Amino acid sequence: MGEIDIAWCPGCGNFAILNALKQALSELEIKPERLVVISGIGQAAKAPHYYKCNLFNGLHGRSLPVATAIKASNPELVVVDESGDGCMYGEGGNHFIHAIRRNPDITNIVHNNMVYGLTKGQASPTSLQGFKTLVQREGVFHEAFNPLLIAISLGASFVARAFAGDASQTKDIIKKAISHKGYALVDILQPCVTYNKLNTYQWFKAKTYYLDSSYNPHDRFEALRRASEIEKLPLGIFYLNPRPTFEEKLSVYQERKDPLYKRSPNLTRLTEWIDSKRGI
Amino acid sequence: MHDKSLSRFKEDVSIVLCGAAGQGIQTVEHILTQTLKLSGYHVFSTEEYMSRIRGGSNSTLIRVSSKRISAPVDRIDLLIPFSPRAVRHVQKRTSARTILLGEKKIYEKEYQGKNAIDIRFSEIASEAGGPIYTNTVAVALLAGLLRVEREVLNQYLRHHFSGKDENTILKNLEAARRGYEVSDELIRSGRLEIDLVKNDAIKDEILIDGVEALAMGAIAGGCNFLSFYPMSPSTAVAVLLAEHSKEFGIVVEQAEDEISAMNMGIGAWYAGARGLASTSGGGFALMVEGLSLAGMIESPMVVHIGQRPGPATGLPTRTEQGDLLFALYAGHGEFPRIILAPGTIEDCFYLAQNAFNLADKYQVPVFILTDQYLLESHYNIPSLDPTQVPIQKHFVETKQGYRRYELTEAGLSPRGIPGFGEGLVVLDSDEHDEEGHITEDLDLRTKMVNKRFKKLDLLKRDVIPPALVGPKHYETLIVGWGSTYHAIKEALGRLGTKDVAFLHFKQVYPLHPEAIVYFKKAKKTVIVENNGTGQFGQLIRMQTGFDMDRKILKYNGLPFSVEELQEQLKSVLD
């Protein structure tokens, strides 16, 4: 990679997430050639341009279908989908729901700063009620989108929340998410120093706490209860629900494991099928 | 009520089965066309039906002929009604020559024609084992009238019902025996005589529809990833590929919407698979954003649009060639594309097969534009050869320092895929540099636009030329594209004109450079299209500046029949 001109504001929470992710990938010894990162559009979606990887920086909100298909076409790749709250929960909301149901073995990292950065300060699906913007002039009155609650209720196989202000724990959570087999959501709280004057570093520090060692992430109802807390936001791994992945269920990988690009159609069998149309 | 005089049919018989959805007309069509073909006749069948699961009035046309026929006619020689409403539904297509074969209680209040023969279908079926065998009685009656050997039908019935218990098979055979008895009586009475010439060579031909040919072609082209959202009439392609997904190694995923389906297809191509998205106009509307992505990142993609009349939900189960200009213009921004439009069952196969190579070779989206009529028409063809178009994979093994969008002399940048080689494959939906990273270098922007458009010139080398049917020296040129091929050809054949030729396009974009030469040679040009505005005529004018003299358009949701084309062509030729 040549000289990198990073497009983020000084002090942006994206830097901390970028560092935590790079650290996690390095500690997991994932080679860039084997890593594919898919992102959408927004300030967070630019992140994969700043580290070595195969990169599919696609459309706003559409990264999850792309990531799902890449993993299904070549399960040997390590697939990470990285984008922001607007991209994943707003424009891509429907894909978010169905990616969880499919359970591809991908890691979904969501930079959640509760505001739109690249389009300059409008409310995001995760903006809290009362948050004022140039558009939401009287303050947001929609109920905030709770990605964890939705993911857990859909039986996501791995659901976690991290805070960009804690580099070490965020890195550890990302490592576990990437190592987890199946769809893994890591919603990472981060401040936007330019457009979100409500949810600042100080606000997050005061409003978050870590799930402690007694917490059982296999208890779905407890996970739902903790994910519903809004006075103080828990951090850590909320829910683990190991189940077969999308790729594992696909018939194309039942008898052979090689990626689709190495395969050719069985023309002999096709000729037999065509011949069957001659009648009896 | 009955005209006792002899009705004789030679060369070509048109049978129409009509009834409500759920009455098993498709089963009759299937068994009858198969046995007719196995007996040595050319057959063609097509359906028109309402957008509902039960009830309504649907009809199926079966043409049986000594000559190869592959187009619909309005004429009805034999009418087999299964419900009174269905009689009303097809009434205006009947004539003094039409013979109705049916139960009196079904037709007596509705049928205005004079030739009706009361056949006690349900009674005969009940004698054979139950009313459920009515369809088999009808099949056997028609097979008998058409002089299909009993053993051919019996064998096919055994084959068709091979998954059922022996009792069911025996009752079907009994129903067939009784159906044959009725046909024998009719032939003996001298009221009906069908005398078509059989040809042994036909027995070994294949009988398929557009859906099957398209799905087989996609497999032959190496398609191993299909993402779709159900929408008539394209769903059948996905259902068939799903049915065969295991044996041919195809990932088939029903996406949450067409937006996802399109992005999945592009993701599959990125990882080295060969993706197909199959949809209809309304679904394609949702894919347009993704299409533009494919244009920007220079991704191969194959999109099948089974056209039906719009706007919006339109007529879900009917046909139209209404989405040509939509496919041509779809997507924000400017980028090259290829649009193919099969005219025959063979085209469905070979164009689908070739679409994957073309998409891969030129790193562009390729459209296959079919329609409800073509997808759901069956006829016999000699064969299909999967080895005719060898699979050419165009991705490369990458080296360190690989740059996905390297500016090359030739115009195409070698396409790498992640995990194959030492390089990194970087794509961006933003304008990008040679590595694939986001850029706002505006000089580079110009270079990248030029690079993408250079492909339009390159892919012109592979444009399929239009096919000229008729004399090389013509005064009038009829122009058509896609599914109207056979109807126009047969109508012109019937007119028997010496100075009229027909030019058919199975690739509609980019246009073949010779197209203009054909147009200019004619004193008069007539374009025939199954849409309301003459979209291909507009495309031709835009691309070549040539204006067609006359238009023959149809947009009521049905395909052109041979007779109406014959009539309309006659009036423009005079």
Q: H or E element: which one contains B542?
A: helix B535-544
CA distance B394 to B392: 6
Residues B222, B316, single domain; the answer is yes
Assign A40 to helix, strand or coil.
Answer: coil
Task: Give per-10-residue mean pLDDT for chain B (574 aa).
Answer: 64 93 90 97 94 85 97 96 90 93 93 91 94 95 97 96 95 97 94 93 98 98 98 97 98 98 98 98 98 98 98 97 98 98 98 98 98 98 94 96 96 97 98 96 98 95 97 98 98 95 98 97 98 98 97 98 97 90
Could you tell me if B324 and B336 are in contact, meaning their C-beta atoms sit under 8 angstroms apart? no
B308 CA to chain A: closest CA distance, Å? 27
Residue B118 dihedral angles phi and psi, to the nearest 5°: -75, 120
Residue pLDDT, tens place only, B496-529: 999 999 999 999 999 999 999 999 999 999 999 9
Is B248 inside a domain boundary?
yes
Tell me, yes or no, if B129 comes closer than 8 A to chain A by beta carbon: no
DSSP bridge partners of B172? none
| pLDDT given for residue B114 in this prediction | 84
| pLDDT given for residue A265 in this prediction | 96
Compute CA distances B509 → A249, B337, B487, B540, whole Å. 39, 8, 22, 9
- The residue of chain B nearest to residue A92, with distances taken between CA atoms, is B260
CB distance B205–A72 less than 8 Å?
no
Distance, C-alpha A261 to centroid of its chain: 26
Nearest neighbour of B222 by CB, restricted to A2, A36, A264: A264
Q: Which residues of A touch B204 (CB under 8 A)?
A: 278
B274, two tokens = 């060969």
Number of H helices, E strands in chain A: 10, 8
Could you tell me if B263 and A65 are in contact, meaning their C-beta atoms sit under 8 angstroms apart? yes
Tell me, yes or no, if B251 comes closer than 8 A to chain A by beta carbon: yes
- The residue of chain B nearest to residue A46, with distances taken between CA atoms, is B438
| pLDDT given for residue B6 in this prediction | 66
CB distance B259–A62 less than 8 Å?
yes
Could you tell me if B191 and A263 are in contact, meaning their C-beta atoms sit under 8 angstroms apart? no
Residues B240, B149, single domain; the answer is no
Is A101 inside a domain boundary?
yes
B462 CA to chain A: closest CA distance, Å? 23
Cβ contacts of B409 within 8 Å, gap of 6 or more: none
Instruction: State which amino acid sits at residue B135.
Output: N
- The residue of chain B nearest to residue A32, with distances taken between CA atoms, is B424
Residues B183, B220, single domain; the answer is no
- The residue of chain B nearest to residue A75, with distances taken between CA atoms, is B271
B141, two tokens = 């009656």
Residues B17, B119, single domain; the answer is yes
CB distance B268–A57 less than 8 Å?
no
- The residue of chain A nearest to residue B156, with distances taken between CA atoms, is A280
Is A115 inside a domain boundary?
yes
Residues B124, B82, single domain; the answer is yes
Tell me, yes or no, if A54 comes closer than 8 A to chain B by beta carbon: yes
Residues 4-23 of A with CB under 8 A from B: none
A135, two tokens = 């558009």
Residues 154-213 of B with CB under 8 A from A: 155-156, 159, 203-208, 212
Higher pLDDT, A102 or B388: A102
Residues 79-118 of A with CB under 8 A from B: 94-95, 97-98
CA distance B87 to B17: 10
CB distance A32–B205 less than 8 Å?
no
Q: H or E element: which one contains A83?
A: strand A78-84
Is A260 inside a domain boundary?
no
**Domain total in chain B:** 4
Q: Which residues of A touch B275 (CB under 8 A)?
A: 69
- β-strands B500-505, B476-481: how paired? parallel
Domain termination site, one of B406, B437, B462:
B462
Instruction: Tell which residue, A58, A18, A130, has the closest CA to residue B289.
Output: A58
Tell me what the pLDDT averaged over chain B comes to: 96
Is B387 inside a domain boundary?
no
- β-strands A35-39, A78-84: how paired? parallel
Residues B219, B297, single domain; the answer is yes
B208 CA to chain A: closest CA distance, Å? 7
Residue A222 burial by Cβ neighbours in a 10 Å radius (0-12, 13-18, 19+): middle
Could you tell me if B132 and B125 are in contact, meaning their C-beta atoms sit under 8 angstroms apart? yes
Compute CA distances B377 → A210, B212, B215, B267, whole Å. 64, 10, 14, 33
Could you tell me if A21 and A110 are in contact, meaning their C-beta atoms sit under 8 angstroms apart? no
Is B388 inside a domain boundary?
no
Q: Which of B38, B252, B263, B378 to mutate to test the interface with A (most CBs of A within 10 A)?
A: B263
Tell me, yes or no, if A73 comes closer than 8 A to chain B by beta carbon: yes
- The answer for B401, left when phi > 0, alpha when psi is -120 to 50, beta otherwise, is left
What's the order of all strands across the beta sheet hosting A233-240? A208-210, A233-240, A158-163, A184-189, A106-112, A78-84, A35-39, A54-57, B426-428
Residues B153, B221, single domain; the answer is no
Domain termination site, one of B348, B381, B414:
B381
Q: HSE-up of B339 (CA within 13 Å, CB side)?
A: 21
Domain that holds residue B509: 467-573
Nearest neighbour of B418 by CB, restricted to A49, A77, A274: A77
Quote the DSSP letter at residue B43: E
Q: Which of A78, A261, A264, A272 to mutate to test the interface with B (most CBs of B within 10 A)?
A: A261
CA distance B527 to B478: 6
Could you tell me if B550 and B525 are in contact, meaning their C-beta atoms sit under 8 angstroms apart? yes
Could you tell me if A132 and A197 are in contact, meaning their C-beta atoms sit under 8 angstroms apart? no
Domain termination site, one of B462, B496, B515:
B462
Q: HSE-up of A248 (CA within 13 Å, CB side)?
A: 12
Is B276 inside a domain boundary?
yes
Residues B483, B551, single domain; the answer is yes
CB distance B155–A271 less than 8 Å?
no
Domain that holds residue A236: 13-247
Could you tell me if B305 and B368 are in contact, meaning their C-beta atoms sit under 8 angstroms apart? yes
Tell me, yes or no, if A272 comes closer than 8 A to chain B by beta carbon: no
CA distance B77 to B100: 8
Residue pLDDT, tens place only, A121-154: 999 999 999 999 999 999 999 999 999 999 999 9
Q: Which residues of B touch A267 (CB under 8 A)?
A: 220, 386-387
Residues B486, B449, single domain; the answer is no
CB distance A55–B428 less than 8 Å?
yes
Range list of β-strands (E), B355-425: 365-371, 378-381, 395-398, 415-421
CB distance A66–B251 less than 8 Å?
no
Nearest neighbour of A270 by CB, restricted to B219, B265, B272: B219
| pLDDT given for residue B5 in this prediction | 55
Is A131 inside a domain boundary?
yes
Compute CA distances B81 → A267, B145, B202, whole Å. 42, 17, 29
DSSP B319-330: -----HHHHHH-
Residues B318, B238, single domain; the answer is yes
- The residue of chain A nearest to residue B395, with distances taken between CA atoms, is A261
CA distance B217 to B235: 16
- β-strands B192-195, B7-10: how paired? parallel
CB distance B256–A94 less than 8 Å?
yes
DSSP B255-308: -SSHHHHHHHHHHHHHTT--EEEEE-HHHHHHHHHHHHHHHHHT--EEEEEEE-
CA distance B415 to B393: 10
Instruction: Tell which residue, B311, B303, B318, B295, has the closest CA to residue B376.
Output: B318
Q: Which residues of A touch B356 (CB under 8 A)?
A: none
B221, two tokens = 């082209």
CATH number of domain containing A160: 3.40.50.970
Q: H or E element: which one contains B20?
A: strand B12-21
- The residue of chain A nearest to residue B203, with distances taken between CA atoms, is A278
Residues B39, B21, single domain; the answer is yes
A240 CA to chain B: closest CA distance, Å? 24
A210 CA to chain B: closest CA distance, Å? 35
Residue pLDDT, tens place only, A41-91: 999 999 999 999 999 999 999 999 999 999 999 999 999 999 999 999 999
CB distance A98–B260 less than 8 Å?
yes
Q: Which residues of B touch A33 (CB under 8 A)?
A: 418-419, 421-424
Instruction: Tell which residue, B118, B133, B221, has the closest CA to residue B171.
Output: B133
CATH number of domain containing B331: 3.40.50.970
Is A261 inside a domain boundary?
no
- Residue written as tokens 């006792």? B4
Residues B228, B89, single domain; the answer is no
Residues 434-463 of B with CB under 8 A from A: 435-438
Residue B276 dihedral angles phi and psi, to the nearest 5°: -135, 135
CA distance B366 to B360: 9
Instruction: Tell which residue, A13, A16, A21, has the closest CA to residue A39.
Output: A21
Is B309 inside a domain boundary?
yes
Compute CA distances A90 → A96, A114, A169, whole Å. 9, 11, 27
DSSP B139-175: HHHHHHHTT--HHHHHHHHHHHTTTS-HHHHHHHHHH
Instruction: State which amino acid sits at residue B249.
Output: G
**Domain total in chain A:** 1
Q: H or E element: which one contains A207?
A: helix A201-207
Distance, C-alpha A231 to centroid of its chain: 24
Could you tell me if B245 and A251 are in contact, meaning their C-beta atoms sit under 8 angstroms apart? yes
CATH number of domain containing B179: 3.40.920.10
Is A254 inside a domain boundary?
no
Q: H or E element: which one contains B135?
A: helix B134-145
